[in-house]
Amino acid sequence: MNLTQRDWLFTVTGGLLVCLVLLPLVAMLFDLLRLGLPVLGWEFLLTAPSNAGRSGGIAPLLISTGWILLVCLSVAVPVGLGCAVFLNEWLLPESRLSRGIGLSLDVLSGVPSIIFGLFGYQVFAITLGLGFSILSGGLALACMVLPFIVRTSQQSLAAVPAGYRQAAQALSLSQTGMLWRVVLPTASPGIAAGVVLATGRALGETAVLIFTAGYVLRQPDSVLDSGRALAVHIYDLATNVTGGTSHGAATALVLLALILIATTSVRSGAGLWSRYMLEEKR
């Protein structure tokens, strides 16, 4: 077999593997569009569900999902980023404490979501007296996605070239100034990727929210009220409601759109902040 034939074989094999990877995604989108597109519309987005979700829309669920995600990221992002900065900038990578924290984060990343749901129910809903509420659901989700944010942020900070830190020290920048003006802007794309992963997992989670946020269909008046997230609504329509398939598919399309919007917003925001901070230094 000559070089040209090998190149052709590798090219064809690679193309077939790419098609094989994309096939489930294309099939899923086709099925969702076939079932959900006839239902999707402004009325579906702006009205409340009725008849156990078989008719009506998802307006209260959009509000509940937004509040849960806001609570989750408001807690997980600052705590996760602060932990990553501490592990990467202040602790020696080979120290016993650093290895212990890293092992704990890796173990938490593999814990099933149902365990986080039981933990959130026992700690936030029962012990702290928050009950089934948006706040309980958001805090439980924050505990679940925290390891992803810490690990991706830590790896992004570690990938910043050592020369950047040395140049900042040569300019007599403080540790805080170096982090804020050099390290964090450079690492922001990787940090944004971690936030995107956390956002996607939080928006698609059901087990945690069933145990903490509840699944009532009404619109919550505050973060202390119970509320049903979009993922929980999809699960309920698919398993418990006869004739709810089309509305479940339409809700899934909206959820995918929200994930796409959140991904684009986080990446764009991180890019703008990084460029602003790097241009400010000039």
Six token digits for residue 171: 């300019």
Six token digits for residue 129: 């007296």
pLDDT of the residue at 204 = 86
Alpha-carbon span 36 to 211, nearest angstrom: 28
The answer to whether 53 and 230 are in contact (CB under 8 A) is no
pLDDT top residue among 179 and 131: 131
pLDDT of the residue at 123 = 93
pLDDT of the residue at 126 = 92
CB neighbour class for 252 (10 Å; exposed up to 12, middle 13-18, buried from 19): buried
Classify the C-alpha dihedral 216-220-226-227 as positive or negative.
positive
pLDDT of the residue at 282 = 54
Alpha-carbon span 166 to 178, nearest angstrom: 10
Render pLDDT for 145-202 as a digit per residue (tens, 0 to 9). 999 899 888 888 888 887 777 777 777 777 777 777 778 888 888 888 888 888 888 8
The answer to whether 133 and 226 are in contact (CB under 8 A) is yes
Render pLDDT for 253-276 as a digit per residue (tens, 0 to 9). 999 988 888 888 887 877 777 676
For residue 105, pLDDT over 80 is answered with: yes
Q: Please tell me what DSSP assigns to residue 231.
A: H
Render pLDDT for 38-72 as a digit per residue (tens, 0 to 9). 888 888 888 888 888 888 889 999 999 999 999 99
pLDDT of the residue at 136 = 93
The answer to whether 65 and 273 are in contact (CB under 8 A) is no
The answer to whether 48 and 219 are in contact (CB under 8 A) is yes
Render pLDDT for 1-27 as a digit per residue (tens, 0 to 9). 555 777 778 888 888 998 998 898 888
pLDDT of the residue at 277 = 64
- Tell me the domains of the chain and their CATH numbers: 42-280 (1.10.3720.10)
pLDDT of the residue at 103 = 85
The answer to whether 223 and 135 are in contact (CB under 8 A) is yes
> Can you give the pTM of this predicted structure?
0.86
| Long-range contacts from 73-76, C-beta under 8 angstroms, 24+ separation | 73/142, 73/195, 73/198, 73/199, 73/202, 74/138, 75/138, 75/139, 75/142, 76/141, 76/142, 76/145, 76/146, 76/149, 76/198
Residues in the chain, overall count:
282
Alpha-carbon span 45 to 15, nearest angstrom: 39
For residue 281, pLDDT over 60 is answered with: no
% of the chain exceeding 90 in pLDDT: 24
